[in-house]
Amino acid sequence: MASEFLFSDRTDMTESDLRPVPFERYQGMMLPEDEPHITGMIVSQEERDLCVAQLASWISDDYKRIMSPGETVVVTPLLNGALPFSKDLGELLRVPMETETMKVETYGGGTSSSGEVKIHKDFSRSVKGKHVLLVEDIVETGNTIDFMINGLLKHKGPKSVKLVTFLDKPSEHNLYVPIDYIGFSIPNMFVIGYGLDYDNRLRNLPFVGVYKE
């Protein structure tokens, strides 16, 4: 599973390239104390929508090629972060699908990774012989995905496994990460919005912003 597509490479962006957040547009969506920590936008709401539509079109085309009549794709967002992305993507996929969820956690809160992966929720139905599309909000070190694919999914006998992530931080990978579809590659900045949280807040923001502690 090589990296097939790179929708947009933003890894060279620096703090000064970030767009200012039009806070008045998002009034009431966040605590006033969070505002000063959000230093700019790395992906706007409009860019997000274009990206999701493009990814959905590529993914649909690929599955149409590999699926047999009567088969479905098990779209599996990793909770909680991938929910908004998975909902938007699922609505635009043009192949029959089912939904499952998985919850694993690598972050204890704050902005640094603990590196440990804990299972909170496994698949509730068998995925044996099925096409599984893992949906992730962001890949950083790759530990979560490696655990998901090599630690969990491999033993469940899926027919195929693909991974789509909305964001990727390639500079932070510490092992090979088999990503099939990437929305945006970004530099090593801590980001919030579109499912991504700071201490479980700010997931509801429809853009991706940079959060400075």
Binding site for Mg ion (CB under 5 A): 81
In this structure, how many other beta carbons lie within 10 angstroms of the beta carbon of residue 148? 22
Rounded to the nearest 10°, the torsion over CA 22, 24, 30, 32 is 100
Q: How far is the CB of 202 from ligand IMP (least distance, A)?
A: 9
If binding is defined by CB under 6 A, does position 11 make contact with ligand IMP?
no
Beta bridge partners of 73: 97, 131
> Residue 3 has which token pair?
């990296």
Q: How many CA atoms lie less than 13 Å away from 79 in the CB half-sphere? A: 11
Q: 25 or 212: whose CB is closer to ligand IMP?
A: 212
Q: How far is the CB of 189 from ligand IMP (least distance, A)?
A: 7
Q: 63 or 142: whose CB is closer to ligand IMP?
A: 142
Q: How far is the CB of 142 from ligand IMP (least distance, A)?
A: 5
> Which range of residues in 6-14, 66-74, 92-100, 130-138 is near ligand IMP by CB under 6 A?
130-138
Q: How far is the CB of 137 from Mg ion (least distance, A)?
A: 5
Query: Judged by CB under 6 A, which of 47, 88, 140, 180 binds ligand IMP?
Result: 140
If binding is defined by CB under 6 A, does position 100 make contact with ligand IMP?
no
Query: Among Mg ion, ligand IMP, none, what binds residue 141 when CB lies within 5 to 8 Å by partner kind?
Result: ligand IMP
CB 113 within 8 A of CB 141: yes
Q: 60 or 113: whose CB is closer to ligand IMP?
A: 113
Angle of helix 45-66 versus helix 83-92 axis, rounded to 10: 60
- From residue 45, alpha-carbon distances to 51, 68, 91, 194 in Å are 10, 35, 17, 9
